[in-house]
Amino acid sequence: MPLVRLDDEEDPVPNLAPMIDVILVLTIFFMCATKFSTDDRRFDLDLPQAGTAAAAAEGRPEVIEVQSSGGLRFAGEPVEATALVERLASARAARPELTVTIRGERAVPHGRMAEVYEACRAAGVSRVAIAVQARSESRTR
């Protein structure tokens, strides 16, 4: 039984509000249910910016994170600087074509980054990349 009587000249129009509500609820559900990649955000690092950047080599690189406070993480686990060479060497033994990405905060001293890079070289890792953020057009001007 219709609640509103239509004149003979009026055409019935479908009500789109419930369909829009369902689409909105589904969109929110899928946004919340999607697992976002957290590999890039173990620490909340303030990465330096570079005008030109290239993608890392193929395969999934191991990540060394360097905080400005001096903390190190390798493959998501805290590691001491003295044990970093051993961990890198064992990872390289398992994967000879190991690629390492060093993610250091902007405030990390150059000497600390050089120590991490030297640990990679001492472990025999030849593919080392440094993570940076690409500059946006508004910041370069």
Predicted confidence (pLDDT) at residue 141 exceeds the cutoff of 60: no
Distances (CA, A) of 9 to 6, 12, 85, 121: 8, 10, 83, 83
- DSSP-derived letter for residue 39 is G
Average pLDDT over all residues of the chain: 76
Contact 99, 129 (CB under 8 A): yes
Distances (CA, A) of 66 to 17, 61, 127: 51, 16, 18
What DSSP string describes 92-123? HHH-TT-EEEEEE-TTS-HHHHHHHHHHHHHT
- Which pLDDT value is given to residue 1? 47
pTM: 0.53
Predicted confidence (pLDDT) at residue 21 exceeds the cutoff of 90: yes
Predicted confidence (pLDDT) at residue 138 exceeds the cutoff of 70: no
Predicted confidence (pLDDT) at residue 53 exceeds the cutoff of 60: no
pLDDT digits (tens, 9 = 90+) for 23-40: 999 999 888 877 665 554
- Which pLDDT value is given to residue 47? 59
Complete domains list, the chain, with CATH: 39-140 (3.30.420.270)
Contact 130, 61 (CB under 8 A): no
Contact 73, 79 (CB under 8 A): yes
Percent residues over pLDDT 90 in the chain: 8
Tokens of 79: 């590691």
pLDDT digits (tens, 9 = 90+) for 60-101: 778 888 888 878 888 778 888 888 888 888 888 888 888 888
Question: Looking at this protein, which amino acid is placed at residue 2?
Answer: P
Strand partners, 118: none
- Which pLDDT value is given to residue 57? 46
